[in-house]
Amino acid sequence: MGSTLIRGGTVVNADAAVRADVLVRDGVVAALGDGAGWAADEVVEATGRLVLPGGIDVHTHLEYPIDGFTTRTADDFHSGTAAAAHGGTTTVVDFVKKEPGASLRDSYLRRRDVAAAKSFVDFGLHAIVPPRDQQEDVLDDLRLLAGEGATSWKFFMAYPGTQMVDDGQLLEGFELAAEYGVLPMVHAENGHMVERETRRLVGSGRVSESFHALAHGHDSEAEAVHRAVVLAESAGTPLYVVHVSSARAAEEIGAARAGGARVWGETCPQYLAVAYEDYAGLGERAAAYVCSPPIRERANQEGLWRALQTGALSTVATDHAGFCMEQPDDLPPQKLRSPGYFPKVPNGVPGVEDRLMVLWETGVRTGRIDMCRFVDLVATRPAKLFGLFPRKGLVAAGADADLVVWDPEADHVITAAGSHLRTDYNLYEGMRVTGRPVHVFSRGHHLVNDGALEGGPGRGAFLTRGAPHLF
Ligand code: URP
Ligand code: ZN
Ligand code: ZN
Ligand code: ZN
């Protein structure tokens, strides 16, 4: 593999931003500093631009089966990782769910191979822990998976009857995670509370799409976060809470952290930059916004920003789970499979391509966070928590040359038509942003060059992740 000199830029890491040339050789960063005397096969001019570590999106659902495998998300590892690359994300960590008739571990090995054949960027897989009645010996599989790179396990506290695990199984799984040095993750919503609210809404005829948000109250999220933190402390494990949407839930995490609990929270761009008010009046079209936990009222957003500022929340990932609004012939039923009835809308929204631009625009450009904090939220902290640091998540000699040359002056309008996803709509349609990736490198390979994707599917590598770095 050749060498590349990225010249004249400002290197931004989570701890500092410094003027430095970057020499890339054999897929890794070979040197940082004054490159006046350095020679390379390719020179990329970065004067006036920033050099960031590639984005790490630790929460995606590509070609992901839902609702008992009756449908799946629209983007596969091909379109999803191509779009990720265009948006400056060079690593995704997706999920494996136990397939019917197969063990969790067999499902993991199969999904790893499927993704490896299609991915443009490096990827890992979190293991979703199925309820005990779906696989009795699942703890045996989890022990094996911990040694095979799945050093994070996700537990659902929502979706009773299909995915929800009870407190007994949470405690047992958390204890095993503590023993094996694995980071447990929770989808924190009280599934029984959501089910009860859903029944009440349906019973009174309030079934159109936007009622989804009312079924998933702040209280059900805050309760589940609180319970998960208590159970994790009791089992002696650190904990990661995915997709925190409610400012109340974020406050639960902040309070726990202030008390010394080893808990980290993630939020997503859709909770920061989109609001219930944006879709409440859209009728069936509100299906485009349906995800769990829901996109909440605008007044909730400031609390999430505050949590990102104080450190109550630690990462921004997408929970990318894109479904189409128009039904394609080659996909199972998508967003409008049961129009006018919120309980049947597939849950999930797209965003893997937009994450960095949306957070830059709404966070850095508004002065809510600085660019070092931005890097920490989208790359460094995710790399640490999910066993990829210091190979990834920073720009430093010896690290993978997963790099983004970011133009902080470039204007762009986000649209579905201009995106690289299979999903046929964009939550941020029409948003004007200033600041976008212009070059993206994946292990030294010039993957996106001024908007053009260079490199085939299948060059992304499966990442056998190590133990979490909890500092
Ligand atoms: O609505 C969502 N978030 N769908 C994806 C699956 C999950 O719960 O994370
Ligand atoms: Zn979830
Ligand atoms: Zn998710
Ligand atoms: Zn700073």
Most informative mutation of 292, 318, 320 for ligand 1 (most atoms within 8 A of CB) = 292
Q: What residues does the ion ligand 2 have nearby, CB within 5 Å? A: 187
- Residue 70's nearest CA partner among 323, 374, 432, 401 is 323
Q: Averaged over 412-437, what is the pLDDT? A: 98
Q: How high is the pLDDT of residue 242?
A: 99
CA distances from 390 to 181, 259, 270, 387 (A): 17, 28, 29, 9
- Residue 34's nearest CA partner among 70, 4, 9 is 9
Cα 243 to averaged position of ligand 3 atoms, centre (Å): 7
Q: Averaged over 325-339, what is the pLDDT? A: 98
Q: How high is the pLDDT of residue 224?
A: 99
Indicate the average pLDDT of the chain: 98
Helix (H, G, I), strand (E, B) or coil at 129: coil
Q: Averaged over 361-375, what is the pLDDT? A: 99
Nearest protein Cα to ligand 1, atom 2: 348
Cα 347 to averaged position of ligand 3 atoms, centre (Å): 9
Q: Averaged over 286-296, what is the pLDDT? A: 98
Ligand found nearest the CA of 289: 1
Cα 59 to averaged position of ligand 3 atoms, centre (Å): 6
User: How far is the C-alpha of 76 from the C-alpha of 330, rounded, in Å?
Assistant: 12
Nearest protein Cα to ligand 1, atom 8: 292
Nearest-atom index, ligand 1, CA of 59: 9
- Residue 52's nearest CA partner among 405, 315, 397 is 405
Q: Is the pLDDT of residue 369 over 80?
A: yes
Q: How high is the pLDDT of residue 471?
A: 85
Most informative mutation of 291, 318, 334, 344 for ligand 1 (most atoms within 8 A of CB) = 291
Q: Averaged over 382-404, what is the pLDDT? A: 98
Nearest-atom index, ligand 1, CA of 158: 8
User: How far is the C-alpha of 439 from the C-alpha of 44, rounded, in Å?
Assistant: 9
Cα 178 to averaged position of ligand 2 atoms, centre (Å): 22
Q: How high is the pLDDT of residue 219?
A: 98
Q: Which tokens belong to 385?
A: 């928590």
Q: How high is the pLDDT of residue 437?
A: 98
Nearest-atom index, ligand 1, CA of 347: 1
Q: Which residues contact 303 (CB under 8 A, 6 or more apart)?
A: 247, 248, 250, 251
Cα 58 to averaged position of ligand 2 atoms, centre (Å): 12
* Torsion on CA atoms 166, 167, 168, 171, rounded to nearest 10: 130
55-57 sheet: strands from edge to edge: 55-57, 89-96, 122-128, 152-156, 183-187, 239-241, 263-267, 315-316
Contact (Cβ atoms closer than 8 angstroms) between residue 402 and residue 441: yes
Cα 130 to averaged position of ligand 3 atoms, centre (Å): 15
Q: What is the pLDDT of residues 90-117, one digit of tens each?
A: 999 999 999 999 999 999 999 999 999 9
Cα 410 to averaged position of ligand 3 atoms, centre (Å): 31
Longest dimension (CA), the chain: 74
Ligand 1 pocket, Cβ-based, cut-off 6 angstroms:
61, 187, 291-292, 319, 321, 347-348
Nearest protein Cα to ligand 1, atom 5: 348
Q: What is the pLDDT of residues 224-283, one digit of tens each?
A: 999 999 999 999 999 999 999 999 999 999 999 999 999 999 999 999 999 999 999 999
pTM tops 0.90, yes or no? yes
Alpha helices in 158-215 (DSSP H): 167-180, 191-203, 211-215
Cα 15 to averaged position of ligand 4 atoms, centre (Å): 6
Q: Averaged over 321-350, what is the pLDDT? A: 98
Q: How high is the pLDDT of residue 45?
A: 97
Q: Is the pLDDT of residue 77 over 90?
A: yes
| Domain boundary assignment for the chain | 3-53+399-416+429-453, 55-374
Cα 28 to averaged position of ligand 3 atoms, centre (Å): 31
Nearest protein Cα to ligand 1, atom 4: 348
- Does the N-terminal peptide bond of residue 131 adopt cis geometry, omega within 30 degrees of 0? no
Q: How high is the pLDDT of residue 376?
A: 99
Nearest-atom index, ligand 1, CA of 61: 5
Q: Is the pLDDT of residue 129 over 90?
A: yes
Share of the chain above pLDDT 70, in %: 100
User: How far is the C-alpha of 311 from the C-alpha of 314, rounded, in Å?
Assistant: 6
Q: Is the pLDDT of residue 1 over 90?
A: no
Most informative mutation of 220, 241, 319, 423 for ligand 1 (most atoms within 8 A of CB) = 319
Contact (Cβ atoms closer than 8 angstroms) between residue 58 and residue 90: no
**Per-residue confidence at 352, pLDDT binned at 50, 70, 90?**
very high
- Does the N-terminal peptide bond of residue 390 adopt cis geometry, omega within 30 degrees of 0? yes
User: How far is the C-alpha of 146 from the C-alpha of 182, rounded, in Å?
Assistant: 7
Q: How high is the pLDDT of residue 250?
A: 99
Superfamily of domain 3-53+399-416+429-453: Urease, subunit C, domain 1 (2.30.40.10)
Nearest-atom index, ligand 1, CA of 242: 9
Q: Averaged over 333-356, what is the pLDDT? A: 98
Quickly list DSSP for 20-37.
-EEEEETTEEEEEE--TT
Nearest-atom index, ligand 1, CA of 156: 8
Quickly list DSSP for 131-148.
PGGG-TTHHHHHHHHHHT
Ligand found nearest the CA of 291: 1
Most informative mutation of 96, 164, 243, 323 for ligand 1 (most atoms within 8 A of CB) = 243
Cα 84 to averaged position of ligand 3 atoms, centre (Å): 16
Q: Does domain 55-374 have CATH number 3.20.20.140?
A: yes
Cα 16 to averaged position of ligand 4 atoms, centre (Å): 6
Q: Is the ipTM of this complex over 0.90?
A: no
Nearest protein Cα to ligand 1, atom 9: 319
Q: DSSP 3-state helix, strand, coil percentages of the chain (rounded to 5)?
A: 35, 25, 45
Question: How many C-beta neighbours within 10 Å does residue 451 have?
Answer: 11
CA distances from 222 to 59, 162, 294, 400 (A): 20, 22, 13, 38
Q: Which tokens belong to 171?
A: 């405690």
